[in-house]
C-alpha cells in the first residue's frame, strides 16, 4: 500500500445531529449475531457503496471495561436497518508516528442518505455520547463512495484490512487526483492477495484532518497481507507513481474480529 510519513494535525471534533426518529434502544451486550453480517432484507447488492471509517485514540489508562462498552455499543448498531456492515475493533498496527490511534470503526451503507440517518439516529448519538467521547481524546472520520461494490459486503471474520488515507498537496489538479485513485484501483490486479479494495475522495472534510483520498483493502488474513507487503520492489513501484502528489499518509491495519473474540485490548 502507499505509505508516507504523516504530519501532526489538530483534531476536529465529530459533529452529531439529533434525530427525532423513535427506535427502541439497543442493548449493550455482545450478541451472538455476527456484527459483520450484512443487515439487509434482500440479497440484492446495493447499486453503490458508501464507506465510513472512524479512527479513535482511547485515553491512556482507560479501564478495559469502558473500552468493551464502547466497542460493544458501536457493534450493536448493526441492528439499524440502514447499516449494511459494521464493526469496531482495536488496531493491529499503526503506520504513522504522528497519530496515536488505537481503535477503528468500519461501516458500509447503500447511500449518503443512509449514512446521514445512521449518524443522526438516537441510538448512535447515545453510544457516542455515553461510551465514545468520555474515553477518547482524538477522533477522525472519512467517508467516500466506493469506486466499485465488492462481491462480499461484509468481510469475513479473520480478514485483515489495510486502510490508507492520503493528504494530497495543496491545489493538486483533478487530473492528478484521478491518477492517484487509478493507481490504487489497479492494485488488486498487481497483488492477487487482495480480496477486495475500494477507493474514493472523502466527502466529509470537516472531520478528516485534511486527508482527502481514502482506500481500504481486505485480505484473507494477516499472512496474505504480509505476503503482499513483502513484495517490496513492486510495492515501492506503485508508491513512486504518486509520491510527488502526496503530502502525508496514514496507514492502519486491523483484523475483523469474530463474535467469540474479546471486545477490548
Query: Residue 167 pairs with which residues in a beta bridge?
Result: 248
Task: Report pLDDT for 25.
Answer: 41
Mean pLDDT, range 11-21, rounded to an integer: 31
Instruction: Identify the pLDDT of residue 43.
Output: 56
Supply the mean pLDDT for the chain.
Answer: 84
CA-CA distance, 123 to 24, in Å (whole number)?
8
Residues 150-166: pLDDT tens digits?
999 999 999 999 999 99
By 3-state DSSP, what share of the chain in percent is helix, strand and coil, each rounded to 5? 30, 25, 45
Domain boundaries, the chain: 50-255
**Model confidence, pTM:** 0.82
Specify the pLDDT at position 140: 96
Classify residue 219 by burial, with Cβ atoms within 10 Å: 0-12, 13-18, 19+: buried
Tens digits of residue pLDDT in 69-101: 999 999 999 999 999 999 999 999 998 668 899
Cell matching residue 48 = 453503490
Q: What is the pLDDT of residue 244?
A: 95
pLDDT at 34 over 90: no
CATH of the domain spanning 50-255, picked from 3.20.20.70, 3.40.50.300, 3.30.70.100, 3.30.300.20: 3.30.70.100
Amino acid at each position: 500500500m502507499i505509505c508516507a510519513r504523516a504530519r501532526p494535525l489538530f483534531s476536529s471534533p465529530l459533529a452529531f445531529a439529533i434525530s427525532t426518529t423513535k427506535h427502541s434502544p439497543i442493548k449493550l451486550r455482545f450478541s451472538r449475531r455476527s456484527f459483520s453480517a450484512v443487515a439487509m432484507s434482500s440479497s440484492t447488492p446495493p447499486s453503490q457503496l458508501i464507506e465510513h471509517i472512524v479512527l479513535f485514540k482511547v485515553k491512556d489508562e482507560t479501564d478495559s471495561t469502558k473500552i468493551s462498552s464502547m466497542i460493544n455499543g458501536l457493534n450493536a448498531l448493526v441492528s439499524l436497518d440502514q447499516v449494511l456492515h459494521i464493526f469496531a475493533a482495536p488496531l493491529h498496527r499503526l503506520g504513522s508516528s504522528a497519530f496515536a490511534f488505537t481503535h477503528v470503526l468500519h461501516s458500509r451503507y447503500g447511500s449518503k442518505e443512509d449514512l446521514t440517518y445512521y449518524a443522526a439516529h438516537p441510538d448512535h448519538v447515545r453510544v457516542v455520547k455515553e461510551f465514545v467521547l468520555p474515553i477518547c481524546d482524538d477522533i477522525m472520520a472519512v467517508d467516500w463512495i466506493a469506486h466499485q461494490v465488492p462481491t462480499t459486503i461484509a468481510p469475513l471474520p479473520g480478514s485483515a484490512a489495510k486502510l490508507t488515507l492520503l493528504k494530497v498537496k495543496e491545489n493538486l489538479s483533478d487530473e492528478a487526483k484521478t491518477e492517484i485513485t487509478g493507481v490504487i484501483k489497479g492494485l488488486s490486479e498487481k497483488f492477487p492477495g487482495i480480496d477486495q479494495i475500494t477507493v474514493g475522495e472523502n466527502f466529509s472534510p470537516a472531520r478528516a484532518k485534511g486527508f482527502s483520498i481514502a482506500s481500504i483493502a481486505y485480505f484473507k488474513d494477516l499472512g496474505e497481507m504480509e505476503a503482499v507487503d513483502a513484495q517490496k520492489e513492486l510495492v515501492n513501484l506503485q508508491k513512486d507513481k504518486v509520491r510527488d502528489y502526496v503530502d502525508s499518509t496514514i496507514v492502519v491495519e486491523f483484523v475483523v474480529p469474530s463474535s467469540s473474540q474479546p471486545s477490548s485490548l
